[in-house]
Amino acid sequence: MFLALGALFIGFIMMSWMFGLSGEKLTTRLRKKSFAKLLSLEMSYFDDHLNSTGNLTARLASDAGKVQGATGRKIGEGVMNLGAFGCGLTIAFYYSWQLALIVFAFMPFMIVANAMMMQVMTDNHGGEEQKKIEEASKGKGKRLEIFNN
């Protein structure tokens, strides 16, 4: 029993570490490719105030971070939850298929309720946050331009 729990614990740690590592590598690769693309653009691209250095660096930092937040450990958690759901449903059908069918019938209501709860809890502020970061970076870029002139 304790051996199985130890194996599960080590497996969970390995899964978290490996998915975290893959998310980090994906984010690093995305940042490198984005930066390389920015370096290959013509100088006139940076004349637009929306493409100032502050805005571009803020976007480079925040967008890659959002990708990492959507991948890596999140995918690992999803795989783990899906596996737990499958095992639980299999055990439920094995011991009492009538009760499992009733639970299975209420599954769409639970999914909708969970989706609504997550919508309320996350309350999308991503666009506002991105604009504030770009505004703060824009001010930093202007200070650097004044200082350099």
- Residue spans of the domains in the chain: they are 2-148
Q: What is the model's pLDDT at position 81? A: 84
Q: What is the model's pLDDT at position 5? A: 77
Which tops the pLDDT comparison, 90 or 127? 90
Q: What is the model's pLDDT at position 68? A: 73
Which tops the pLDDT comparison, 142 or 33? 33
State the average pLDDT over residues 2-12. 80
Q: Taking 70 as the threshold, does the pLDDT of residue 148 lie above it?
A: no
pTM here?
0.56
- Transcribe the chain into DSSP letters: -HHHHHHHHHHHHHHHHHHHHHHHHHHHHHHHHHHHHHHHS-GGGGGSGGG-HHHHHHHHHHHHHHHHHHSTHHHHHHHHHHHHHHHHHHHHHHH-HHHHHHHHHTHHHHHHHHHHHHHHHH---HHHHHHHHHHHHHHHHHHHHHHH-
State the average pLDDT over residues 43-68. 77
- Residue 89 near residue 100 (C-beta atoms within 8 A): yes
Q: What is the model's pLDDT at position 109? A: 92
User: Tens of pLDDT along 55-66?
Assistant: 787 777 777 777
State the average pLDDT over residues 133-145. 57
Q: Choose the weakest-confidence range: 60-64, 112-116, 144-148.
A: 144-148
Percent of the chain with pLDDT over 90: 1
